[in-house]
Amino acid sequence: FFFQTDVEISLVGGSCKNPVEKFWNGSSAMYILQKATHSEESDSMEESRTDDAVYTSEVLPKENPGALALSVGRAKQLISLYTMVQNPNVTSLGVSDLAVLPPLWARCDGSDPQHTCWIGAEPLKAGNKVMGLNIYMVSCDGPTADKTRFPNLEELKMEHKIRHHSSVVTTKGFARYELIVAAAIEDTIAESGSNIYVDITWNGVEKILETPPVISAATLNIALESGDPRSPVFQLYRELRFLLALAEGLKTGVTEWPEPSESESAPKLVQEFLTDLKKKLDGDYIFEDKNETEKINCDTAAVDNCIKSIFGERGDLDFTEQLWCKMKSKCVSSYQELIDCFTLVIKSLERGEIQPWIHQGSSSFLSQLIQQSYHGKMEAVSLSDITPIQMLLEVGLEKMKKDYVSFFIEQKSLLFQDYFISTSVELQEQVHRVQKLHHMLEIMVSCTGLLQFRHENLFPLTQICMKYYKENPLNEKHVFQLPIRQALVKKFYQNDNPEVWRVEISSGHGQKEVKTTWQVSTTAPVEHGTSNNSGLLSDSTVNGSSEEKLYFITMIQCSQVQFT
């Protein structure tokens, strides 16, 4: 495979973005072939290389993809070279013991009448030998809302039969409907990456753009980013952000404090809280009826009615948790205020003015001081350096763990509870695991409030999330998938057009199987060529209506080259 100065090739795999994933779901590793972008200096360096192989890189170039496309003729020529290299019958290359290469995809500029945007070649393997290649031709047109431009399914099937000399074909349908799309937050540039959509597959397609039948298989896909101000648990998210700020301050020595609140200062609120405790009989804190207590536990005033039923108010807040609620983000606005608050608490404990109740098993330093105060002996505490920040972080961490666990107890989803609330790991890791709990909570709340999920649906979803987060770091871009009954979500999309609709027409079996795929999608299936191709359609309305969705039309045709 001799070096070509006008092209470059990139090896894509692992966590790299897959540029052909919207229409092909084959091998995870592949070569992407495109027009060269290196400078004249790099040209001279490349020419001085002694090897004859095409230079490969691990990362796709960052330039405008539209400038990277090759002419269709050039791409076909290079695919032919790749095919020749993989063919064991071509002995003139002098290569023995050929290695099976990853699939090769070449970007095309759509300059031919079919508007070809990709050409791909995929080896057909039998053990370690290449028996042939699948050659893919991908064409793209649109966007258009004119459905008269869509072909008839019978025409597609007949075209497939003629091309592949087959008498029998099977069809498989795919449709994707967006259930919830997170819109951009007003006055901000960045859009949320949150989305909930359902993928539906079925066999025996009868017509183009048909609605999936009742017996279809459905998979719910959820990608949710925390922190949407419209979320019913946004106040809890703000509480988590304060916890994260404390953890970062503990790690770096620099804490970002919130702006001072216009309401009462944190020390004043803490003093009032301590004074109230002194008035309790025998110095013990007695809980009032849950409905009459001050609603400070989770800022539940901001929680929607539909969420209150699943994430209700905790009626068992102990002293340290109530103290956290007084001191959290809207109140404590400086390091000095933090010291003042803990000074008030420690002095009250030393004087025996309060004997507050705490949860059994509480392990924070403040809880240990409270337990010591029961016996009239407390160790000396130096409220300096990082000590006050760590004390508040420990208190908030314990409180928020119980908040999240109380929700998952209600959902009877405690398979991995010990992992998420373990105190045997260092403090920063505990904070990281609480972040995971919050992300799972956001997912459950969204599915409950927006999709009206019940326990029988939430339970398996919770288990999927917990299993993922026990094995992986926090990743709010991860798409969680849950097989569901189509009827469960049909009412959310039954009057909508799909975001993606696809039919696969196939014939043959095993490695002899060949497919013709026709697809429409509301987003361009390729990131190159759609803006500068004069042959593409750009209809915005049909018959004066602007309500029809605009679709890109993609056709993937497959042919085979057999070496044996």
Write out pLDDT tens, residues 20-57: 888 888 767 888 988 887 544 444 444 444 343 344 44
CA dihedral for 309, 479, 23, 203, sign (positive or negative): negative
Q: Are residues 117 and 239 in the same domain?
A: no
Q: Are residues 413 and 314 in the same domain?
A: yes
Q: Show Cβ contacts of residue 447 under 8 Å, excluding neighbours closer than 6 positions.
A: 196, 222, 453, 457, 458, 461
pLDDT of residue 51: 41
Which of 427, 454, 471 is the last residue before a domain boundary? 427
pLDDT of residue 47: 45
Q: Are residues 280 and 404 in the same domain?
A: yes
DSSP-H helix ranges across 295-334: 305-308, 319-327
Q: Are residues 140 and 253 in the same domain?
A: no
- Per the structure, the complete domain to which residue 116 belongs is given by 1-37+66-147+509-538+546-563
> Is position 282 within any domain?
yes
Q: Are residues 110 and 2 in the same domain?
A: yes
Tell me which residues of the chain have a pLDDT lower than 70.
1-3, 27, 38-67, 92-98, 181-192, 261-262, 281-313, 329-330, 410-417, 528-547
pLDDT of residue 343: 95
Of residues 395, 318, 400, the one with CA closest to residue 359: 318
pLDDT of residue 93: 63
Q: Are residues 389 and 534 in the same domain?
A: no
Burial of 159 (0-12, 13-18, 19+ CB in 10 A): middle
**From CA 121, how far away is CA 79, in angstroms rounded?**
7
Structure tokens at 367: 């809880």
**From CA 60, how far away is CA 58, in angstroms rounded?**
7
Q: Are 507 and 164 in contact (CB under 8 A)?
A: yes
Q: How far is CA 242 from CA 9, 301, 336, in A?
A: 46, 19, 17
> Is position 210 within any domain?
no
Structure tokens at 201: 């597959």
Q: Are residues 260 and 409 in the same domain?
A: yes
pLDDT of residue 302: 33
> Is position 2 within any domain?
yes
Which of 392, 427, 462 is the last residue before a domain boundary? 427
**From CA 100, how far away is CA 19, in angstroms rounded?**
22
- Count how many Cα atoms sit within 13 Å of the Cα of residue 295 in the half-sphere of its side chain: 11
Q: Are residues 418 and 557 in the same domain?
A: no
pLDDT of residue 412: 58
**From CA 449, how far away is CA 404, in angstroms rounded?**
17
**From CA 440, how far away is CA 434, in angstroms rounded?**
10
> Is position 315 within any domain?
yes
pLDDT of residue 187: 38
pLDDT of residue 98: 66
Buried b (16+ CB within 10 A) or exposed e, 292-325: eeeebbbbbeebeeebeebbbbbeebbbbbbbbb
Q: Are residues 122 and 4 in the same domain?
A: yes
> Is position 103 within any domain?
yes
> Is position 435 within any domain?
no
Of residues 369, 391, 370, 389, the one with CA closest to residue 379: 369
Q: Are residues 111 and 237 in the same domain?
A: no
**From CA 332, how far away is CA 529, in angstroms rounded?**
54
Which of 376, 404, 427 is the last residue before a domain boundary? 427
pLDDT of residue 413: 55
**From CA 511, how far away is CA 132, in angstroms rounded?**
9
Please give the tally of structural domains in the chain: 2
Q: Are residues 33 and 141 in the same domain?
A: yes
Phi, psi torsion values for 472, nearest 5 degrees: -135, 155
Burial of 468 (0-12, 13-18, 19+ CB in 10 A): middle
pLDDT tens for residues 305-343?
445 544 555 778 889 999 998 888 667 889 999 999 999
Q: Are residues 250 and 362 in the same domain?
A: yes
> Is position 20 within any domain?
yes
